[in-house]
Amino acid sequence: MQPSFWHERWERAEIGFHQQDPNALLAQFWSRLALPTGQRVLVPLCGKSLDLLWLAGEGHPVTGVELSQVAVEAFFQEQGLCPTRRGSGAIEVWEVDEIRILCGDFFDLAPHQVADCAAVYDRAALIALPPPMRERYARQLDAILPPAIQMLLVTLEYDQGLRPGPPFAVDEAQVRALYEPAYAVEILYSRDALAENSAWRAQGLTWLHEKVYRLARRGP
């Protein structure tokens, strides 16, 4: 999957993955991280997600990472925000108040750009990537994040043979293979989400599970 795939999706407004409200599972399970107010949250592949606003409203400065400048511009414009812009090269920083978006390729991030993050919220990053890129994504997180980090991860499970991604199916075994033993992996929640996804049922899916995980990096 090349960057051009996502650039084209945003340019054509083919963004069915965008949610019109903050994610309900984020609101339900964020407190399980017990993250102190004021600690910064990293949101990879954030698009123009309203989850950024929700996290900021909970008292957490937030750093989103987004490849598409179209998405970044749309986020700030739709929220009536006027960000400052700085930086050149691979990553440009857009920032206003407690919200910062790094516009560029996630795989070009360096540790100093996320050194102030204490947690990660991943609802749409891991499941947006095909298997080889998932491994690269997990390695990149491991390389750039500070030692004491935890994560709220939301995934989907379904029969991948019946529907091409993205979003891709990522089951518990894959999550554990990607993150253990560096992280302690805990399942917080699992639910059947097929009833509210008629388009997926029309494609022949007979089951669709949504899961929420808490990951905590283990000490040395």
How much is the pLDDT for 20?
A: 79
How much is the pLDDT for 75?
A: 96
45 is in an annotated binding site: yes
3-11 and 69-78 helices, crossing angle to 10°: 40
178 is in an annotated binding site: no
DSSP, res 165: -
Looking at every residue in the chain, the average pLDDT score rounds to 92
Point out which residues pair with 150 in neighbouring strands.
Answer: 119, 216
pLDDT over threshold 90, residue 185:
yes
How much is the pLDDT for 165?
A: 84
- The kind and range of the H/E element at 8 are helix 3-11
Instruction: Give the 3-state secondary structure of 38-80.
Output: CCEEEECCCCCCCHHHHHHHCCCCEEEEECCHHHHHHHHHHCC
Cα 39–Cα 42–Cα 45 angle in degrees, nearest 5: 160
How much is the pLDDT for 217?
A: 96
pLDDT in tens, 43-53: 999 999 999 99
How much is the pLDDT for 103?
A: 97
Which domains, and CATH codes, for the chain? 3-13+22-217 (3.40.50.150)
Q: Helix H segments across 145-220?
A: 172-179, 198-202
pLDDT in tens, 27-73: 999 999 999 999 999 999 999 999 999 999 999 999 999 999 999 99
pTM for this entry: 0.94
3-class DSSP state for residue 23?
coil
How much is the pLDDT for 14?
A: 66
3-class DSSP state for residue 208?
coil
Burial of 5 per CB tally in 10 Å (0-12, 13-18, 19+): exposed
66 is in an annotated binding site: yes
